[in-house]
Amino acid sequence: MWCSRCRTLIVRSTVFAALCIGFLAAVTTVSAQQPGLIANTDGRKTISLDGQWHTIIDPYESGYYDYRYQPSANGYFKDAKPKSKSDLIEYDFDTSDSLKVPGDWNTQTEQLLLYEGTIWYRKSFDYQRKENTRLFVYFGAANYLADVYLNGEKIGRHEGGFTPFNFEVTNLVRDKSNSLIVKVDNQRRRDAVPTLITDWWNYGGLTRQVKLVETPASFVQDYFIQLQKGSRNQIKGWVRLNGQKLNQRVTVRIPEAGINKSFTANATGYAEIGFNADLTLWSPGNPKLYDVLIEAETDRVLDQIGFRSIEAKGTEILLNGRPIFLRGICIHEEAPFRGGRAYSREDAVTLLGWAKELGANFVRLAHYPHNELMLREADRLGIMVWSEIPVYWTILWENPATLENARNQLTEMITRDKNRAAVIVWSMANETPLGDARLSFLRKLVEQARSLDSSRLVSAAMERHYVDEQTQMIDDPLGEYLDVLGCNEYVGWYDGLPEKADRLEWKMKYQKPLIMTEFGGEAPYGHHGDPLTRWTEEYQENVYLHQVNMLKRISFLRGTCPWILMDFRSPRRPLPGIQDFHNRKGLISDRGEKKKAFYVMQKYYRELETTVPK
Ligand code: GCU
């Protein structure tokens, strides 16, 4: 019997249920068959799919579910067209509006500023297929849940708004008018990562570049080429091939250093690599990047890689064996001047340029992996990076799917950026509440991070507590498993008045380096008054003056990261005429205006620059 409303065959509910399960199983197996993440797409042959995409706003997910809230086999992903004058098709991408990709949808039209839900994106493209060539569609990121289809076929699903993913389309692509459709859903969920509440705007959409990546039938899919932990001349890593021809000869060349080392990949296409190299080490003072060629018999990829060692010894952080102080600043991935998600090299150059002006040699990219262009710019500018996954505040610690999701985002973050010399710290979380379930959850992430990359420091931004009126204690049990500890404190803003910092002593349970990963206060640029009047630049300046004096007294402090470089949009900040849905803790306004507190930090960092070696 045909259902009159949705024209789907409903004979016996069990048959229908079996159909759905078969359909979902097909989806998962499709994504299961997909190769892992392709590293360094800029070092390969790519075709950009950026630009205007036709879109359909779908708050009720009518393009995905039928009226029985069952996944429909005839959803918008079919990109269907009426075949006759009496055919009933209730959507049409060609005559629908369009949105720019890359870009969040919230700042492209007033109507979508607060929109949380599904928007369908469609891009049509032609592609000349070639012998012995494979094709992948690569997304820099899509916030939050993306279902991807090509020519009506589901090719995969990705969860997580800040890490890249790719799907193979070699057997699905055709020469003419391919229809690439992405259902992007940024609805917040309690079991998601991040969960329901964040102090940043839930920008939705295809927020980063989308491209086609062409590879030979057997290609260099991924590689890890860095100095072994604590070594300044021992390169250790691996190369992974993908395809039929796997046990190939793999060669790593660093022409400028006269290095040309060959290894043999095993039957799974994995080649362990290791060799001595006398290289100029990457550092903020000399961010040396080498052209590195990774060659196999059937493929070659060029990358720019810096080599440096980073370790923690006692309360010291050692860069290339020498103690350093991380003069940092926190940054959200928000575009200066235009607002919305940052995604371009220009955005990165502006934001990191301001950090440099502040005197920073370190940035904490909060609270999620930022776009690859930001990391590569930090590599070029010599700015060290703290990179974090959005395990933020109170997620569902006991939910296995939440853990799997966090693990996946961690893997994708490390996979994409493990060859960036700038990245020195992987952060597992921000301001998460003490508890056994939380501790075991985060310990699993720490172990995973170490198994994926043993060459960097592992940390998290934690909280402190008072042991008495004057004494702050950092003794979060998670600290046991970390290399360096991050601590967020808002003495003078959420906790007392600015001068309170003068009376405080800091203690820490662990003989490890501390980075003060957040501190500060809020003031809209140009709002003036006396140093004790909230929301004035003078109050914010006052907070920083007392903070700097307090920070100087902490003997195990090895880094500072004020919250935050630039004012950013937040749904939790409604105060009219002051916040207007922006967090105003920036040292710089979202229009690039420097507040008085900026100069307090700049002065402190200039002092440090002269006293602590680069
Ligand atoms: C928190 C949090 C930030 C937030 C900041 C604030 O510590 O980590 O995401 O924006 O404080 O309250 O301004």
For the chain, give the number of residues: 614
Inter-residue contact 234 to 228 (CB < 8 Å): yes
Q: Which residues contact 338 (CB under 8 A, 6 or more apart)?
A: 107
Helix (H) or strand (E) holding 26: helix 13-33
Give the residue, by CA position, lying nearest to ligand 1 atom 12.
199
Hey, what are 267's tokens?
């039957």
The DSSP secondary-structure symbol of 444 reads H
Percent of the chain with pLDDT over 90: 93
- Counting atoms of ligand 1 from 1, which one is nearest the CA of 522? 13
State the residue for tokens 């892992």.
36
> Which residue type is seen at 97?
D
Inter-residue contact 431 to 469 (CB < 8 Å): no
Inter-residue contact 10 to 19 (CB < 8 Å): no
SS3 35: coil
The alpha carbon of 519 and the centre of ligand 1 are apart by a number of angstroms equal to 9
What are 323-347's pLDDT values in tens digits? 999 999 999 999 999 999 999 999 9
From residue 599, give the alpha-carbon distance in Å to each of 319, 383, 444, 602.
Answer: 27, 20, 41, 5
For the chain, first and last CA: distance in Å? 76
Q: Which residues, in sequence order, are bridge partners of residue 167?
A: 137
State the residue for tokens 């990191």.
352
Q: State residue 35's pLDDT score.
A: 61
State the residue for tokens 């996946």.
408
Strands 514-518 and 557-560: parallel
Q: Which residues contact 562 (CB under 8 A, 6 or more apart)?
A: 328, 329, 330, 518, 519, 520, 544, 547, 587, 601
State the residue for tokens 């601590």.
487
CA geometry: angle 89, 148, 172, nearest 5 deg: 90
Percent of the chain with pLDDT over 70: 94
Hey, what are 36's tokens?
């892992």
Give the Cα separation of 541 and 536 in Å (integer).
9
Q: What is the mean pLDDT of each run of 10 residues along the chain (614 residues)?
A: 43 47 45 73 98 98 97 97 96 98 98 98 97 97 98 98 98 97 98 98 98 98 96 97 97 98 98 98 98 98 98 98 98 98 98 98 98 98 98 98 98 98 98 98 98 98 97 98 98 98 98 98 98 98 98 98 98 98 98 98 96 59
- E strand intervals along 409-553: 423-430, 457-462, 465-468, 471-474, 485-488, 505-508, 514-518
Q: Please tell me whether the peptide bond between 102 and the residue prior to it is cis, using omega within 30 degrees of 0.
A: yes
Q: Write down the pTM of the prediction.
A: 0.94
Inter-residue contact 359 to 225 (CB < 8 Å): no
Q: State residue 613's pLDDT score.
A: 52
CA geometry: angle 11, 75, 129, nearest 5 deg: 120
The alpha carbon of 412 and the centre of ligand 1 are apart by a number of angstroms equal to 25
Q: State residue 610's pLDDT score.
A: 83
Helix (H) or strand (E) holding 17: helix 13-33
From residue 519, give the alpha-carbon distance in Å to each of 363, 420, 512, 516, 547.
Answer: 14, 27, 20, 7, 8
Other beta carbons within 10 angstroms of residue 612's beta carbon come to: 14
- Counting atoms of ligand 1 from 1, which one is nearest the CA of 583? 13
Which residues have any ligand 1 atom within 6 Å of their CB?
Answer: 199, 367, 430-431, 488, 518, 563, 583, 585
The alpha carbon of 320 and the centre of ligand 1 are apart by a number of angstroms equal to 32
The alpha carbon of 199 and the centre of ligand 1 are apart by a number of angstroms equal to 6
Mutate to test the pocket of ligand 1, among 197, 493, 568, 583 (most ligand atoms within 8 A of CB): 583
State the residue for tokens 């005559």.
95
The DSSP secondary-structure symbol of 236 reads E
The DSSP secondary-structure symbol of 614 reads -
- Counting atoms of ligand 1 from 1, which one is nearest the CA of 585? 13
Q: State residue 612's pLDDT score.
A: 61
Mutate to test the pocket of ligand 1, among 518, 578, 587 (most ligand atoms within 8 A of CB): 518
Q: Could you please report the per-residue DSSP string of 494-532? A: TBS-GGGGGG-EEEESSSS-EEEEE------TT----TT
Q: State residue 611's pLDDT score.
A: 75
Hey, what are 497's tokens?
């008045």
- Counting atoms of ligand 1 from 1, which one is nearest the CA of 366? 9
The alpha carbon of 332 and the centre of ligand 1 are apart by a number of angstroms equal to 11
Report the chain's C-alpha Rg in angstroms: 25
Give the residue, by CA position, lying nearest to ligand 1 atom 2.
199
Give the residue, by CA position, lying nearest to ligand 1 atom 10.
199
Mutate to test the pocket of ligand 1, among 195, 198, 199 (most ligand atoms within 8 A of CB): 199
